[in-house]
Chain A
């Protein structure tokens, strides 16, 4: 299949996923389950990674700005901007593409190869809507919160690491994270997180939904879901940065 055919088939699948639900209550129940599986269960990994990334960003910035002419609070400023602009949305999205994307593709792919999707269709259920829409909505709704958690934990991680390593004082760090603060950066980051959440869930669902074969193909679909989600996220990161920050 050519890239254009993939894009066309992906678009049709997304259109089907957003068709009117047969019964709203059933979709709502699935939405709650997916919010737990995709969003709440990802809080732990987001906290761990954000903490250590914030810590590393702060220490690396400190060692790269060892200059008496540069005030120490710039370390806090650099850490803050790195975390807000890029880390809490893009890097967290790439991590989620690995964790959530592979889960979605393998779950839907397994349902495809064991004829569970056919069973839904035979019952008169829109399988794309029933399986994919709750996943998309769940992550789109929770991604901004994950992003906010990442911002807070990342900045806290930077503070703890910076102070523990003796490269910056608490006062300097707090001054740095407040200095020349642009609130729009948070909005920008949240917008990106919502779009990345849509990409992760829809691209991964696409790979799972069109799996053909057996266990080997489910594994391949899972890998492709992560790879393609990550590429599309990076592409859209560039486009959104140009659109939202220029």
Chain B
């Protein structure tokens, strides 16, 4: 479980996050949604420690991440898995080397054990025979799947996904969403997904938090979100004319 308590963050005096408190539940896919520039990426980067918060605290399974020293932060980060918007695969390494990287760096496994683990993770994301390819040779969806395989190779307790569907066609996006949800349940992880994709919200949003202008406006499930009276959230969700029309029909 990850808990965020009263965090604020500003850049050059310009507030980006204002007094946000959220708890992200274990074994569930927690979604942070909001418009571009609403502060959701900054929130995610604060949670994983790429940005220092100005105020407030972040807790991982009850332990204050904010109060940890550099060494403790490095240790807890070994329990993190992260899927970046652009996948962030290491260009100079093959698919297999990318997925194996954390095993090489942090474990004492022998070559055969590592190979088995890498193959398992790549099979899990349906990329069983792509070990020797390099990131430049992969499509956008394949890169994301390799990034997921890399993220889960050390059985992380926490999985973070920043815009996992950006740049993907709707079918591939659904596959990635489903993969994230399945993996979350399978490994009982606390997963936080940053997205503005309404399909993702409906598909995997077991817990949804809506951020706008650096503030939390709403939280609930994907089932509750369609019934919300929150105007900002409705403006965000039903910005598309067709979706708005469907909601009107559904309401009738």
Residues of A near B85 (CB, < 8 A) are 115
Q: Known contacts A121-B77, A124-B75; is A115 also within 8 Å of B86 by CB?
A: yes
How far in angstroms is the closest Cβ of chain B from A93? 26
How far in angstroms is the closest Cβ of chain B from A168? 49
Residues of B near A26 (CB, < 8 A) are 104-105
Residues of A near B104 (CB, < 8 A) are 23, 25-26
24 A-B residue pairs with Cβ-Cβ distance under 8 Å, sorted by A, are A22-B105, A23-B105, A23-B106, A26-B105, A110-B91, A114-B91, A115-B88, A116-B89, A116-B91, A118-B82, A118-B88, A119-B82, A119-B90, A121-B50, A121-B77, A122-B50, A122-B77, A122-B82, A123-B78, A124-B75, A124-B76, A124-B77, A124-B80, A124-B106
Q: Is B102's CB within 8 Å of the partner chain A?
A: yes
Q: Is B217's CB within 8 Å of the partner chain A?
A: no
For B60-91 the 0/1 string (1 means CB < 8 A from A) is 00000000000000111110101011101111
Q: Do B84 and A118 have beta carbons less than 8 Å apart?
A: yes
Interface size bracket, B side: 20 to 34
Q: Is B134's CB within 8 Å of the partner chain A?
A: no
Q: Is B48's CB within 8 Å of the partner chain A?
A: yes
How far in angstroms is the closest Cβ of chain A from B77? 4
User: Chain A contact residues: over half helix, strand or loop, or mixed?
Assistant: helix
Task: Please pick, from A25, A114, A124, the residue contacting B86 in the complex, using a CB distance under 8 A.
Answer: A114
Residues of A near B84 (CB, < 8 A) are 115, 118-119
Question: Roughly how many angstroms separate A115 CA and B102 CA in the complex, as a whole number?
Answer: 17
Q: Do B105 and A125 have beta carbons less than 8 Å apart?
A: yes
Q: Give the most central of A23, A25, A119, A121: most B CB within 10 Å.
A: A119
Q: Is B101's CB within 8 Å of the partner chain A?
A: yes
On A, residues with C-beta under 8 Å from B are 22-23, 25-26, 110-111, 114-116, 118-119, 121-126
Question: Roughly how many angstroms separate A201 CA and B78 CA in the complex, as a whole number?
Answer: 29
How far in angstroms is the closest Cβ of chain B from A138? 15
Q: Do B101 and A123 have beta carbons less than 8 Å apart?
A: yes
Residues of B near A111 (CB, < 8 A) are 90-91
Q: Give the most central of B50, B77, B88, B106: most A CB within 10 Å.
A: B88
How far in angstroms is the closest Cβ of chain A from B114? 13
Q: Do B88 and A119 have beta carbons less than 8 Å apart?
A: yes
Question: Roughly how many angstroms separate A26 CA and B103 CA in the complex, as a whole number?
Answer: 11
For B38-67 the 0/1 string (1 means CB < 8 A from A) is 000000000010100000000000000000
Q: Do A123 and B88 have beta carbons less than 8 Å apart?
A: no
Residues of A near B80 (CB, < 8 A) are 122-124
Question: Roughly how many angstroms separate A22 CA and B74 CA in the complex, as a whole number?
Answer: 10
Q: Do B78 and A118 have beta carbons less than 8 Å apart?
A: no
Q: Quick one: closest B residue to A21, CB to CB?
A: B105
